[in-house]
Amino acid sequence: MSGDGAEVLARATWSALVEPGDTVAGTLVGLLGAVEALEWVHAAVRDRPDLARLEDRTGPLSGADRRRVVKALARWAVRLPGCDPRRDLAQLDRLGGALLVPGDPRWPSAFDDLGVEAPFSVWVRGEPDLGATLALSAAVVGSRAATTYGERIAFDLADGLSADGVCVVSGGAYGIDAAAHRGAVARGGRTVVVLAGGVDRAYPAGNARLLDAVVGSGGALVSEVPPGSLPTKSRFLQRNRLIAAAGRATVVVEAAWRSGAMSTAHHAARLLRPVGAVPGPVTSMASAGCHRLLREGVAVCVTDAAEVRELAGVTGATLLAGAAADRSADDRSARRQDALDPVSARVLDALSRRVPFELDRVASLAGVTVAEARGAVGLLELGGWAVRRDAGWVAVGFATP
Amino acid sequence: MSGDGAEVLARATWSALVEPGDTVAGTLVGLLGAVEALEWVHAAVRDRPDLARLEDRTGPLSGADRRRVVKALARWAVRLPGCDPRRDLAQLDRLGGALLVPGDPRWPSAFDDLGVEAPFSVWVRGEPDLGATLALSAAVVGSRAATTYGERIAFDLADGLSADGVCVVSGGAYGIDAAAHRGAVARGGRTVVVLAGGVDRAYPAGNARLLDAVVGSGGALVSEVPPGSLPTKSRFLQRNRLIAAAGRATVVVEAAWRSGAMSTAHHAARLLRPVGAVPGPVTSMASAGCHRLLREGVAVCVTDAAEVRELAGVTGATLLAGAAADRSADDRSARRQDALDPVSARVLDALSRRVPFELDRVASLAGVTVAEARGAVGLLELGGWAVRRDAGWVAVGFATP
């Protein structure tokens, strides 16, 4: 947890209190800020809504707007007593996760494009620097009822994108989503799964191992609802807007005429993100949605990873920016290093990445006792910062432990 | 042969004298008219080119233009002695064909869109009213090296278009072209084969039966070069512009990255005709050209006959116009009727389409003897104009015999 504690707690509360995409809540938080807006809700539930305070910011509210606010308050009042952000954050902590809020340097600014529909906070399991992860990204989505053809294409696209350092974003569902995540993981790429329920819930259960593999290979599971939240139908629909926002471009690999992937494509189009569609046999109903997107001019035709990369605006210039992002990955490691105890930090500084040093040499360089050095390298080894080689100890790049 | 005899002979000569798409010839005929332009060529070959006469129309010619004219004359001079339009027309006559020239009511005005590259005349075998045939039309083209998928789609598109009275235009080649013609013939639709060589040459030979079937089901074989002409490579390329011009829209079903079908699509685009491309598996090289056309915005995505019909602008209004074309089909039948001997024509006029008449009634109504009526209905039956029913004779719609 980083940033202002009250702000984080308030945003954790908002993400539990209201359903994703609640524009009344989004407007209220936009007007008053997360903390004040929550206090305003508490007071409104205890007493009565202080609409005059809102009108100080907005000017006179219409009757319809007043009714929307009052109706929203009635919904929130039911859930408010059960909200416990500290419990949710403790649960996230047990998962080794991080809560990101706007202003956190790891917050993905891409989500800000959603305006009043932006998530209040994102609950992340795995790599916490979502902003860096999504700097070069493409959403690869499609039907659960995919064909062998579609799954092969999704896998190959994700493989090719990962080879170029483009993060593949998808929804973790069976079919195209899973094939895309698999292609990224197989290539050792980072991939982001945007879940409709909490990040503690492997959904669908059949993809539990895949989701673990995503986390294990430097990717992340992401949700705008706290751990323990169920993946409901409306949350699936709202989740699609996050996928669309997270990708610099969205590619539909296979989709029926009406489907969640089509909704993701339309969300991306509304966000003015480029949309691609992979063509397929016109005899395949699984490609009908893709062809519809092409016919209606919502999507451009994409047939391989290079064309998706082009769609996502990943040019030579952005690949250079990607190198900069790698440097900022070093910065992230530097921040993590800040979290080490002082002795371990000094020992780590003393280690070379290439030349193994004996413990007494390490202790001497670090200015610590040999016993302290022995304890420190043990901790650093556990954290993945150092390894023992034949002749002594070396630092391990700045690999994420 | 209809229209001014000298004009027809001159245009038959031009189509034998110069290669398709010769813009010097097109310009010359545009300036002087076909007859005068030919006389000008004869004089130029005998003596020297009277460039001043051209400059009376064009203003001063540039040096480059003068050199182009002189160079073209040198080419034409080689062929001029061998040109024999009467021989070519006699050969066409033996095939039961017709030569169409601009001004003939059967001339397809669509070809005029080609400007100086318009054909001088078209040699037609089969249904001679090409203008009426192409009133509702779509070109369906693609690779010779087609897949089973592509051939199935071409067949189905042609079947569906034919069911709606839309004439399918293609090039008679193996693969997609043949499948398209077959789909039209199987549905009993008219289809037009634009050949690179003469209409007496079934090319490729393996499609000879198919080309006969096209003629047999009310379609036509069309060429801008006289009977006996070889289908050379440059004529294949020029032929594509006629296919593109003949269709209200052009649809590419399957095409490799570079192929004749791609050239047809680009011809159609230059003529501001709508272009469609049928998507296919991105793993299929046979669909790579289609996907390229989609990506480059040259073509829109089409997946079935209804979408092609829409592309060709075949709306309710054009279907009404189609009904008008059917009336003009009646006019065509009326013209054919003019070719009947006077007794048969009077007998045909006397017949009802619904109420069978005995022979003596027919004779009485037609004002002929019973013996004449008997002979006439026999001829009319052979020609498909009349049939015998239980109680007597009826006229048959205005069906083409």
Sequence-distant (6+) residues with CB within 8 A of A44 are A50, A73
Contact B283 A307 (CB under 8 A): no
Domain boundary among B68, B83, B98: B83
Does one domain contain both B69 and B119?
no
Angle between helices A342-350 and A370-382 (to 10 degrees): 90
Query: What is the per-residue pLDDT across A23-63, written as a single tens digit (0 to 9) for each?
Result: 999 999 999 999 999 999 999 999 999 999 999 988 999 99
User: Chain A: which residues have CB within 8 Å of chain B?
Assistant: 149, 152-153, 278-283, 287-288, 290-291, 294-295, 300-304, 307
Does one domain contain both A135 and A52?
no
Q: Which of A254-268, A321-335, B29-43 comes out lowest in average pLDDT? A: A321-335
Q: Strands A122-126 and A220-223: what pairing? A: antiparallel
pLDDT value at position A395? Answer: 81
Does one domain contain both A313 and A357?
no
Distance in Å, alpha carbon of B304 to nearest chain A alpha carbon: 8
What is the band of B372 on the pLDDT scale with cuts at 50, 70, 90? Answer: confident
In a domain? residue B236: yes
CATH number of the CATH domain containing A381: 1.10.10.10
pLDDT value at position B218? Answer: 96
Does one domain contain both A129 and A259?
yes
| First-residue to last-residue Cα distance in chain A | 19
Q: Which of A194-198, A309-313, B334-338 comes out lowest in average pLDDT? A: B334-338
Q: Which of B34-38, B149-153, B239-243, B346-350 comes out lowest in average pLDDT? A: B346-350
Does one domain contain both A259 and A196?
yes
Distance in Å, alpha carbon of A321 to nearest chain B alpha carbon: 27
The torsion angles phi and psi of B194, rounded to 5 degrees, stand at: -95, 115
pLDDT at B31 > cutoff 90 = yes
The torsion angles phi and psi of B251, rounded to 5 degrees, stand at: -120, 130
pLDDT value at position A110? Answer: 95
Distances (CA, A) of A127 to A196, A217, A400: 18, 9, 9
Is B331 within 8 Å of B342 (Cβ atoms)?
A: no
Chain B residue numbers touching A300 (CB-CB < 8 A): 294-295
* Top-confidence residue, A276 or B336: A276
Cβ count within 10 A of residue A130: 25
CA nearest A305 in B: which residue? Answer: B282
Sequence-distant (6+) residues with CB within 8 A of A361 are A392
Sequence-distant (6+) residues with CB within 8 A of B342 are none
Q: Strands A392-395 and B250-252: what pairing? A: unpaired
pTM: 0.75
- Express as a percent the part of chain B with pLDDT over 70: 91
Q: Strands A98-100 and A122-126: what pairing? A: antiparallel
Query: What is the per-residue pLDDT across B333-342, written as a single tens digit (0 to 9) for each?
Result: 444 455 567 7
What residues make up the domain containing B25?
5-83
Q: Using CA atoms, how far apart are residues A234 and A78, in angstroms rounded to an integer?
A: 18
In a domain? residue A60: yes
Query: What is the per-residue pLDDT across B117-138, written as a single tens digit (0 to 9) for each?
Result: 999 999 999 999 999 999 999 9
Q: Using CA atoms, how far apart are residues B32 and B49, in angstroms rounded to an integer?
A: 14
Q: Which of A106-120, A364-378, B113-127, B268-282 comes out lowest in average pLDDT? A: A364-378
Does one domain contain both B164 and B61?
no
What does chain A come to in residues?
401
Q: Using CA atoms, how far apart are residues A164 and A162, in angstroms rounded to an integer?
A: 5
Cβ count within 10 A of residue B244: 28
Mean pLDDT of chain A: 89
Q: Using CA atoms, how far apart are residues A65 and A23, in angstroms rounded to an integer?
A: 11
pLDDT value at position B68? Answer: 93
pLDDT value at position A34? Answer: 97
Does one domain contain both B170 and B313?
yes
pLDDT value at position B320? Answer: 54
Domain boundary among B257, B283, B318: B318
In a domain? residue A122: yes
Q: Strands A220-223 and A250-252: what pairing? A: unpaired
Does one domain contain both A313 and A243?
yes
Q: Using CA atoms, how far apart are residues B107 and B111, in angstroms rounded to an integer?
A: 8
Q: Using CA atoms, how far apart are residues A189 and A213, in angstroms rounded to an integer?
A: 11
CATH number of the CATH domain containing B117: 3.40.50.450
pLDDT value at position A401? Answer: 28
* Top-confidence residue, A22 or B337: A22
Does one domain contain both B46 and B117?
no
Is A242 within 8 Å of A194 (Cβ atoms)?
A: yes
In a domain? residue A330: no
Is A24 within 8 Å of A1 (Cβ atoms)?
A: no
What is the band of A376 on the pLDDT scale with cuts at 50, 70, 90? Answer: confident
User: Chain B: which residues have CB within 8 Å of chain A?
Assistant: 149, 152-153, 278-283, 287-288, 290-291, 294-295, 300-304, 307
- DSSP code at position B357: B
Does one domain contain both A134 and A259?
yes
In a domain? residue A235: yes
pLDDT value at position B95? Answer: 94
Long-range Cβ contacts of A340-343 (<8 Å, 24+ apart): A340/A379, A340/A380, A340/A383, A340/A385, A341/A379, A343/A368, A343/A372, A343/A375, A343/A376
Chain B residue numbers touching A278 (CB-CB < 8 A): 282
The one-letter code for the residue type at B164 is D
- Express as a percent the part of chain A with pLDDT over 70: 91
Q: Strands B300-301 and B275-277: what pairing? A: parallel
In a domain? residue A98: no
Query: What is the per-residue pLDDT across A327-345, written as a single tens digit (0 to 9) for each?
Result: 454 444 444 555 567 777 7
CA B329 from chain centre, in angstroms, equals 16
Q: Using CA atoms, how far apart are residues B64 and B84, in angstroms rounded to an integer?
A: 31
Tokens in use for A349?
A: 């500084």
pLDDT value at position A289? Answer: 97
Chain A residue numbers touching B283 (CB-CB < 8 A): 149, 152-153
∠ CA A394-A398-A399, nearest 5°, is 100
Quick one: average pLDDT of A296-314? 94
Cβ count within 10 A of residue A338: 8
Does one domain contain both B140 and B249?
yes
In a domain? residue B293: yes
Does one domain contain both A361 and A297?
no
CA nearest B281 in A: which residue? Answer: A280
List the one residue out of B76, B61, B75, B71 whose CA is nearest residue B31: B61
Quick one: average pLDDT of A274-285? 97
pLDDT at B330 > cutoff 50 = no
pLDDT value at position A324? Answer: 52
What value of ipTM does the predicted structure carry?
0.71
In a domain? residue A401: no
Considering its fold, how many domains does chain B have in total? 3
Contact B295 A301 (CB under 8 A): yes
Q: Using CA atoms, how far apart are residues A283 and B133, in angstroms rounded to an integer?
A: 30
pLDDT value at position B324? Answer: 52
Q: Using CA atoms, how far apart are residues B83 and B90, in angstroms rounded to an integer?
A: 13
pLDDT value at position A382? Answer: 66
Exposed / middle / buried, residue B216 (Cβ in 10 Å: 0-12, 13-18, 19+):
exposed
Kindly state the helix (H) or strand (E) to which residue A352 belongs, with its residue range.
none
Chain A residue numbers touching B304 (CB-CB < 8 A): 282
CA nearest B282 in A: which residue? Answer: A303
The one-letter code for the residue type at B192 is V
pLDDT value at position B249? Answer: 97
